[in-house]
A and B are shown apart, each in its own frame.
Chain A
Amino acid sequence: MSNNIIETKGIVFTYADGTRALSDLTLTLPAGKRIAVLGANGSGKTTFFLCLNGILRPQKGEIFFAGEQVRYDKKSLRRLRSRLGIIFQDPEVQLFAANVQQEVAFGPLNLGLAEKEVRRRVRQALALTGMERLAEKATHMLSYGQKKQVAIASILAMEPDVLVADEPTAWLDQLHAGKVMELFHSISKQGTTVIISTHDTDLAFSWAEEIILLEEGKLLGKGPPEAVFLEKELLTATGLRRPLLLEIYFLLKKKGCVTNEAPAPRTLEALAYLIKE
């Protein structure tokens, strides 16, 4: 029994204007892990995500969620979307309600939960994203970082099994980007599968447990960061740079400044630890 929460088999998706976004994409995503989907602009990351929750329907191929094939009738889609939540890249597009609390309550209310439970979830989601004091604030009076937090909270409130975030750190300053990634880290610790898309290899390297490399709608590589990022040709094929930390590590290794036997470091502290006196 594979512990893959999501499985795709040969999906092909072409947009109405003829752009072929996904070509024969076959992959599996392990449950409960932190997954980073990497790829250059136009590699199909967003299209892939929109296929996962049924917004886009691939012309060919099958998608499986928790072992069951994704069906496109109303009931199945509703069930799928209650378990898989997507946070879109632009929070401006997502926020529609008059104030923060109504926005975050939208998802749980749609799930048909009792008012008391909805309030509890809203409170919890706002607390997780640090937005409790802004519950009554109008959505148009928030800063960009705050809007992003509200968008995240509105999905967290639905307590999905899988959280998908399309370029979650785009347009965020380093402080807010760090907060968001920390939040995702702690959510993943509670068992939620967190999937993000990014083209920031440094971010993916330090945060993810599994890397998916997409290029022109095809799967180019898959595996733990230490393995995937070691293959330089693979990365250049996708137009991505190797993580800076790794480059420095290899430079130091070549000069004999680091102990040889240890595995490649994922954080600055780990690298510092390996440097010989």
Chain B
Amino acid sequence: MFMLDWYAHNSRLRTAHPVEKALFALLCLGPALYFSREAVSLAIILLHSIIFLFYLQIPLRFYVKLMLMPLAFLLPGCLAVALELVPAQAGAMMLILPLGSLTLGISPGSFSLAVNILLRSLAALSALYFLALTTPFAQLGWLLRKAKIPAGAVELALLTYRFIFVLADTAHSIYTSQSTRLGYSCRRNTLKSLGLLASGLLIKSLERSRLMHASLVSRCYEGEFPSLETRYSFSLRNWLLIGGVTTALLALSRMPAFF
């Protein structure tokens, strides 16, 4: 997860206007979810894989890991959609497991539905990954503010983002200090040490928030986190690309379904 953040900050598209990036992601996400056409989903997956691997130079291994991660719950879900329990006399089925008067199997209809869902999910995921890999969190905060999301919620999101790293760092140093003292050398120690790590983390977080409050108050904090407007510029090329891709996806949606 930290790699995602690193890629976002060092991305080629880091300085591009956040609205352009968000729009591109949304205009891929929308068609992916709305049109049930495999052609659209495949096109999106292919387009994004080209963008990630060749334009953003994401290493192949990382890309594969990113796409495989959600499969852990996507595959069982699709399998559940594919499997049907029908009366034994039903029409053509692919896998058959007779269960008395019923049959458990995969019909052409359920199979195509499962594949459709899988592709749609992967396409939507690709669109989201695009945003995650090109947009540092501060820009996402800017977008949320522009979208009139309440300031309090955006501030909370930004603070949470910052503190994830602080928490991870602290947890890591507690873990290191414990393991150098054999804290994780056997199962019993591991359980005990993990418990101590969790409680230590809580205590440190409370103490730290106290100190942070002192530093905020020293800078005249009055309950709000004002932010400096960052200026971005639009790029004609990006808008043309967005328009082109959207048109292509709409055209593909007119194609007949694969199954």
Interface residues in chain A, defined as those with a beta carbon under 8 Å from any beta carbon in chain B: 50, 53, 55, 78, 81-82, 85-86, 88, 90, 92-99, 101-102, 105-107, 109-111, 115, 118-119, 122, 136-141, 154-155, 158
Contacts and interface: CB of A to CB of B under 8 A. Distances in A.
Nearest to B222: A110
A105 B220 contact: no
B158 to A, nearest CB: 5
Given A94-B212, A96-B216, A106 B225 contact: yes
A119 B228 contact: yes
A109 B228 contact: yes
A99 B138 contact: yes
Given A86-B218, A137-B9, A102 B228 contact: yes
A137 B138 CA distance: 10
A139 B162 contact: yes
A136 B16 CA distance: 13
B162 A101 contact: no
Given A102-B228, A141-B9, A107 B219 contact: yes
Interface string B131-151: 000001110010000000000
Nearest to B136: A138
Contacts of B169: 92, 140
Contacts of A140: 162, 165-166, 169
A139 B158 CA distance: 12
B221 interface: yes
A85 B166 CA distance: 24
A55 B219 CA distance: 11
A28 B121 CA distance: 69
B217 A55 contact: yes
18 contacts: A55-B218, A78-B220, A81-B217, A81-B219, A85-B218, A86-B215, A93-B211, A94-B212, A96-B159, A98-B136, A99-B136, A99-B138, A105-B228, A109-B227, A111-B220, A115-B228, A140-B166, A154-B219
Contacts of A105: 226-228
B228 A98 contact: no
Contacts of B137: 98, 138
Nearest to B164: A140
A190 B162 CA distance: 35
Contacts of B136: 98-99, 136, 138
B5 interface: yes
Contacts of A158: 219-220
Contacts, number: 95
A106 B226 contact: yes
Interface of B: 5-6, 9, 136-138, 141, 158-159, 161-162, 165-166, 169, 208, 211-212, 214-222, 225-230
Contacts of A107: 219-220
A93 B6 CA distance: 22
**8 closest residue pairs by CB, A with B:** A98-B138, A140-B165, A105-B228, A109-B226, A110-B220, A107-B219, A94-B215, A93-B211
Nearest to B10: A141
Contacts of A78: 220, 222
A138 B9 contact: yes
A139 B136 CA distance: 12
Contacts of A96: 159, 162, 212, 216
Contacts of B214: 50, 55, 88
A196 to B, nearest CB: 16
Contacts of A88: 211, 214-215, 218
A136 B216 CA distance: 21
Nearest to B220: A110
Given A119-B228, A158-B220, 10 more contacts: A78-B220, A88-B215, A92-B166, A93-B211, A96-B159, A105-B226, A110-B219, A110-B222, A115-B228, A136-B136
A131 to B, nearest CB: 15
Contacts of A136: 136, 138, 230
B222 A98 contact: no
A9 to B, nearest CB: 23
Contacts of A109: 226-228
A136 to B, nearest CB: 8
